[in-house]
Amino acid sequence: MPEKILESFEIRRLEILDPKGEVDESLMPSLSADEIKKMYELMILSRTFDQRAIDLQREGRLGTYASILGQEATQVGSAFTIQKSDWIFPSFREMGVYMTLGYPIHQLYQYWAGDERGLKAPEDLNIFPICVPIGTQMLHAAGAAMAAKYKRDPIVVITYFGDGATSEGDFHEAFNMAGVFKLPVVFICQNNHWAISLPRERQTAAKTLAQKAYAYGFEGIQLDGNDIFAVYKGTKDAIEKARRGEGPVFIECVTYRMSSHTTADDATRYRSKEEVEMWKLKDPILRLKLFMERKGLWTEPYQKEIEERSRQIIDEAVRVAESVEPPHPEDMFTYTYAKPTFRQLKQMEDF
Amino acid sequence: MPQLNMVQAINLALKEEMMRDPDVVILGEDVGKNGGVFRVTEGLWEQFGSERVIDTPLAESGILGISIGMAAYGLKPVAEIQFVGFTYPALDQIFSHASRIRSRSRGRYTCPLVIRTPYGGGIKAPELHEESPEALFCHMPGIKVVVPSTPYHAKGLLVSSIRDPDPVLFLEATRLYRLIKEEVPEGDYTFPLGKARIVREGKNITLVAWGSMLHKVLQAVEGYDDVEVIDLMTLHPFDEETLFKSARKTGRVIIVHEAPKTCGFGAELSATLAEEAMLYLKAPILRVTGYDVVMPLPKLEDFYLPTVQRIRKAMEDIIKY
């Protein structure tokens, strides 16, 4: 009997905006000038938030913080396509997603300063709290998608994770569940090349992460994660597909973590300066700026104006975060169970 | 009134809750067409369909992870893990998420999930099929742990667990599944979580047990007068008051469980009694437990599990003290 080829696959990579700011018009999504400016402003705001967080950490006003520097296009571009009724299960490095969705910025600072009240999402936003274990939240996304499907709610669930998470068992279990039950879930990997000190090549021997979806029976696509138009289009298409009931999609956004893993980490111990310098040339904000300049959407005064506005927004968020009354110790007990246990009630008398 | 065994009583509870509340869904390995490896979910797939009685891929972390997402979204999933030893691959989901979603989200999201799973020895099963790790779960804040000991109580406690707004680990003693039959009424009745029951009243010794060990204890006390037997039913949060009251009355307490002794749940009960009822005690609190060993395979399991003889020996010792 001759051998047969049962399956073969190819992985698409989407790039629209190059580092010089030129776009492939045939792929360009339809976005108004206002929308493009809004995206740019959200990226600037995200970067301002991030820089301030690091400064505050250095001043001892914030705890350990995980920077998003360099990943602004992935976060803003993808979140820009999410509808209010959709559900989002982030990991811990998605401040740009939270901000794009309109999460109160002072709450983000509150959380990183060690106040759990920062994690309570506003009622009109279905975003889950920051997830510290790696990759576990992908299953919650699959579960929420399963529940939405059961209730016939026309929503999509979006979950974010990093390249390191693709090595975890729950990544595979979540992909498997999503594939088997054809769930309306979009998996977004921010492949930022580094899981603390381990490079992407030490996470998997596969050539792309996107191809992993193939084994679970659904589509995987790789995007240039520093190209906000590719991220926007790739995510929008995936969300629409999931919303039509055509099952999950896995999006690998190839981006780069320009800072250390967290403020407690020193990336110079394990990666070269040359590599970082090379990625600086691919800066997602710079790239969109060049495009906008060509289109007459960017000027020096505009840049100054939005930087100033971002600073004001961030100043105000920090002020609010730091002026919130500290939590009462009873707050520890309030949310363990719906009602405190007999024993907790006794323990609460300590306060 | 029908005479039902534990399997049938749990099945009835599931059926009635699913009829009452469309948000209740069942999921797990083999729970659908096959009706569960112990037949606990038999007939439910036929009645409620594959959208509500969901046969999942073989993945324990996956089952509990998606259950958490479903619960957060507003359903009331009842997940079955085929044997409690197989919750170990899913402990991350139980400990890192189910137990703390309410806390992390400051009440915005909750996890009204029931994890049903057979536990315990005495059935001559393979490795990891006879574990009794209840103490692990009792130690993790945010979870409730319920262990019924009879068909009648299993039904009422399971209904309460499903309606409870927090995650509940519902441990079903495998040895009891078909051992006893009793009258189990159809229709709504519940037992509150966190309440123990006094199975037998007495003034001389208090024996505390749960799940299958309760029946060992009842055998052991046959012929002994004035022995009080408490079925704890919920281990977390456990009913301190019933325990204190009994200890103050009898002054002698023996705790019986099949889990290993070290850091077993008996240690918690014993320490609590020492804190609250010390001056009423006429003898040290004794524990009759499994040994600090890996649960042995069938050839040795009868030597591992507490026996009637060991329980009686403890009763004689505590009286003589």
pLDDT of A52-69, one tens digit each? 999 999 999 999 999 999
Structure tokens at B306: 């507490």
* Contact assignment for B105 to A148 by CB distance below 8 Å: no
pLDDT at A214 over 90: yes
| Selected residue of A139, A151, A153 to mutate for chain B interface (largest B Cβ count, 10 A) | A139
pLDDT at A293: 97
Interface contact B108, partner A, CB < 8 A: yes
Query: In Å, how far from its chain's centre is CA B319?
Result: 30
Q: What is the mean pLDDT of residues B173-184?
A: 97
Structure tokens at A11: 């992985």
pLDDT-derived band at B190 (thresholds 50, 70, 90) equals very high
Cβ atoms of A203 and A134 closer than 8 Å:
no
pLDDT at B97: 98
Residue A273: CB atoms within 10 Å = 8
Question: Could you give the angle at which helices A169-180 and B60-73 cross, rounded to 10 degrees?
Answer: 70
Residues of chain B neighbouring A151 (CB-CB closer than 8 A): 73-75
Cis peptide before B237 (omega within 30 of 0): yes
B226: left (phi over 0), alpha (psi -120 to 50) or beta: left
Size of interface A-B (CB pairs under 8 A): 137
DSSP secondary structure letters along A160-198:
EEETGGGGSHHHHHHHHHHHHTT-SEEEEEEE-SEETTE
Residue B68 vs residues A180, A249, B99: alpha-carbon distances, Å? 18, 21, 10
What's the sign of the alpha-carbon dihedral A197, A203, A207, A208?
negative
pLDDT at A1: 80
Residue identified by tokens 């059926």 is B15
In chain B, the percentage of residues whose pLDDT exceeds 90 is 99
pLDDT at B6 over 90: yes
pLDDT at A111: 97
pLDDT at B319 over 90: yes
* Contact assignment for B65 to A139 by CB distance below 8 Å: yes
Position A334: which residue type? T
What's the sign of the alpha-carbon dihedral A284, A285, A288, A290?
negative
pLDDT at A40: 98
What's the sign of the alpha-carbon dihedral B134, B138, B143, B146?
positive
The model's pLDDT over A270-309, given as tens digits with 9 standing for 90+, comes to 999 999 999 999 999 999 999 999 999 999 999 999 999 9
The model's pLDDT over B128-169, given as tens digits with 9 standing for 90+, comes to 999 999 999 999 999 999 999 999 999 999 999 999 999 999
Asked whether the whole model's pTM tops 0.95, one would answer yes
Structure tokens at B100: 């703390």
Q: What is the mean pLDDT of residues B23-44?
A: 97
Question: Which of B65, B110, B236 is facing A173, going by the closest CB pair?
Answer: B65
Cβ atoms of B235 and B145 closer than 8 Å:
yes
In chain B, the percentage of residues whose pLDDT exceeds 70 is 100
Q: What is the mean pLDDT of residues A180-199?
A: 97
| Half-sphere exposure in the Cβ direction for B18 (13 Å, CA) | 22
pLDDT at A70: 97
Distance (Å, whole) CA A261 – CA A195: 7
Q: What is the mean pLDDT of residues B75-98?
A: 98
Interface contact A151, partner B, CB < 8 A: yes
pLDDT at A249 over 90: yes
Q: Which of B129, B153, B215, B257 is catalytic?
A: B129
pLDDT at B145: 98
pLDDT at B161: 98
pLDDT at B1: 78
Q: What is the mean pLDDT of residues B268-291?
A: 97
The C-alpha of B306 sits at a distance from chain A's nearest C-alpha, in angstroms, of: 29
The model's pLDDT over B83-93, given as tens digits with 9 standing for 90+, comes to 999 999 999 99
pLDDT-derived band at B225 (thresholds 50, 70, 90) equals confident
| Residue A152 phi, psi (nearest 5) | 60, 30
Strand partners, B288: B256
A residues 308-337 lying closer than 8 A (beta carbon) to B: 334-337
